[in-house]
Chains A and B, each alone.
Chain A
Amino acid sequence: MHEMSLAESIIQIVEEAARRELAQRVRLVVLEIGSLSSVAPDALQFCFEVVARHSLAEGARLEIITVPGQGWCLSCATTVAMEGLYSPCPHCGGYQVQPTTGMEMRVKEIEIA
Chain B
Amino acid sequence: MCTVCGCGSDEVQIEGEKVSGEKTGAVHFHRHDHPHHHHGIYLDHGPAHSHAPGLSETRMVQIEQDILAKNNRYATANRRWFDERGIFALNLVSSPGSGKTALLCKTIEQLTGEVAIRVIEGDQQTSNDAERIRATGVPALQINTGKGCHLDGHAVGHGLERLQPPNNSLFLIENVGNLVCPAAFDLGEHHKVAILSVTEGEDKPLKYPDMFIAADVLLLNKCDLLPHLQFDIALAEANARRINPNLRIMRISANTGEGLAEWIDWIRAGLTEQRKKQSAAGPTVLIPLATGFEELEAITLIDLLRRAGITVVSAGLSPGPVQASRGTIHLPDTDLDQALNREYDMVVLPGGLPGSDHLAQDPRIIQLLQQTAQAGRYTAAICAAPKVLAAAGLLAGRRATAYPGVLEALQLPTTTRDSAAVVVDERVITSRGPGTAMDFALTLIERLMGESTRQEVETGLTR
Contact = CB atoms under 8 A, between A and B. Distances in A.
A5 B150 contact: yes
Interface stretch (B57-65, B314-322, B449-457): B57-65
A6 B58 CA distance: 26
A38 B297 CA distance: 50
A95 interface: yes
Interface string A4-33: 111011101110011011010001100100
A67 interface: no
B63 A109 contact: yes
B39 A21 contact: yes
B214 to A, nearest CB: 11
B61 A107 contact: no
Contacts of A105: 66-68
A62 interface: no
A110 B209 contact: no
Contact of A38 (B57, B58, B60, B210): B210
B209 A1 contact: no
A113 B55 CA distance: 10
A109 B181 contact: no
B185 interface: yes
B234 to A, nearest CB: 18
B152 interface: yes
B393 to A, nearest CB: 42
A53 interface: no
Contacts of A18: 61
Interface in A9-66: 9-10, 12-14, 17-18, 20-21, 23, 27-28, 31, 38
Interface of A: 1-2, 4-6, 8-10, 12-14, 17-18, 20-21, 23, 27-28, 31, 38, 85-86, 95, 105-113
22 contacts: A5-B152, A8-B10, A9-B68, A13-B69, A14-B63, A18-B61, A21-B39, A21-B41, A31-B67, A38-B180, A86-B243, A105-B66, A105-B67, A106-B64, A106-B66, A107-B63, A107-B65, A108-B64, A109-B63, A110-B61, A111-B61, A112-B61
